[in-house]
Chains A and B, each alone.
Chain A
């Protein structure tokens, strides 16, 4: 695992732990945590905050037969045995992402966006969208700003923009303030998982016209 320099924010981790993020963002967060020990530890700690809140919460009385009803749900079945752990072959995509793609990087059904850039939109709830982006080495993603929040997680290669360099495992959290022009580093193509809760604002005419067509 390469060294990860750009991590999730506390706000995103807390919202993921609380279960209030849009599905598209949760996918990016879960994929980053799969690659990043530090954010895994932070996420676990936010979960423990939730556990403490649950433990100290005032309860609501249940119906008299609630325990009996729950035992009926269980139906006398023994707890499920834990599946034996298997070390799986190394892959470009962590498992949560593979669930959405239907496999690793070779299973992606890319659609061309022009300039060698490709994308695949992944299914998610409608409050945000998430896609895979393929940017050939040295190529640029069209210059754009943001109306909402955009998360970009690098899965292969690297890109640079006005703020820094982002390599495998790094996540960029962009808000309204950031106008940026990400450029893939020369060499291997850069593959990113990107989610946004608002349409991107493109700064030139052609991408703007194409926007409804490509749903970006």
Chain B
């Protein structure tokens, strides 16, 4: 979580109240309670505010945080600045349009936005289709389990800390993989992949899937 970026966003939006999203209460919908300013569930709450209320202020806050990062991510993957800028805008427009597909018990806000940005890169830069797995059938409620959402957020926090605590060489390896500098074959030859960092995240996701499918 980049505190500086968030402060900028709040400054740019002037009167926007930081307490606005402390608790989102919509009858029958998910509630996400934010415990402190540095926890990332706030971004999930912003996406749900777009879904439920077409909240443009929430969108502006998301935009201030994520659009520059998407542009930076695409440029690091070798995309020219002007194309990266257009893509970042289109990715954020997709965040608005597809807000109803976001499920905070399956993916954090940054993960969901990452997948949209990645797909945009494949579509625009590589001009290829991206085959996606078949979606799981939604349960009868089709509502988010708040406990699952919080557990996932905590696990992602741990993942984030684990990645930033990695030795430079290993962190560099992950970055090169995601910025497209390493092919799958080069990845397969690398023995230094720090996969221990995601093991507990995988266990949690698998428990969640099994719970959902039963």
Q: How far is the CA of A80 from the CA of B95 in the complex (A)?
A: 11
One of B54, B132, B184 near A96 (C-beta < 8 A): B132
Chain A residues in contact with chain B, CB under 8 A?
A: 9-12, 14-15, 17-21, 23, 25-27, 29-31, 33-34, 37-38, 40-63, 66-67, 69-71, 73-74, 77-82, 85-87, 94-96, 99-100, 125, 148-149, 175
Q: A11-B184, A23-B129 are in contact. Are A79 and B100 (CB under 8 A)?
A: yes
B21 sits at the interface (CB 8 A): no
Is the pair A20, B72 in contact by a Cβ cutoff of 8 Å? Answer: no
For B, the interface residue count at a CB cutoff of 8 angstroms equals: 93
Binary per-residue interface labels of chain B (129-160) against chain A in the complex, 1 for a CB within 8 Å, 0 otherwise: 11111101110001000000000000010011
Is the pair B92, A26 in contact by a Cβ cutoff of 8 Å? Answer: no
10 contacts between A and B (CB under 8 A): A12-B188, A15-B177, A18-B118, A34-B134, A47-B114, A51-B111, A53-B174, A73-B89, A79-B99, A149-B185
Is the pair A55, B184 in contact by a Cβ cutoff of 8 Å? Answer: no
Q: How far is the CA of A40 from the CA of B110 in the complex (A)?
A: 18
Chain B residues in contact with chain A, CB under 8 A?
A: 1-2, 5, 40, 50-51, 54, 56, 59-60, 63-64, 66-73, 75-76, 81, 84-85, 88-90, 92-93, 96-101, 106-115, 117-119, 121-122, 126, 128-134, 136-138, 142, 156, 159-160, 163-164, 174-175, 177-180, 182-185, 187-188, 190, 193, 195, 197-198, 201-202, 205-206, 208-210, 213
Is the pair A52, B160 in contact by a Cβ cutoff of 8 Å? Answer: yes
Is the pair B180, A20 in contact by a Cβ cutoff of 8 Å? Answer: yes
Is the pair B180, A19 in contact by a Cβ cutoff of 8 Å? Answer: yes
Additional 7 contacts, C-beta under 8 A, given A50-B115, A61-B68, A66-B88 = A15-B177, A41-B206, A52-B160, A52-B163, A62-B89, A73-B90, A79-B51
Query: In the complex, what residue of chain B is closest to A73 when comparing beta carbons?
Result: B93
Residues of A contacting B: mostly: helix
Q: How far is the CA of A200 from the CA of B46 in the complex (A)?
A: 50
Q: How far is the CA of A75 from the CA of B89 in the complex (A)?
A: 13
Query: In the complex, what residue of chain B is closest to A95 when comparing beta carbons?
Result: B134
Which residues of chain A come closer than 8 Å to B198, judged between CB atoms?
Answer: 45-46, 48-49
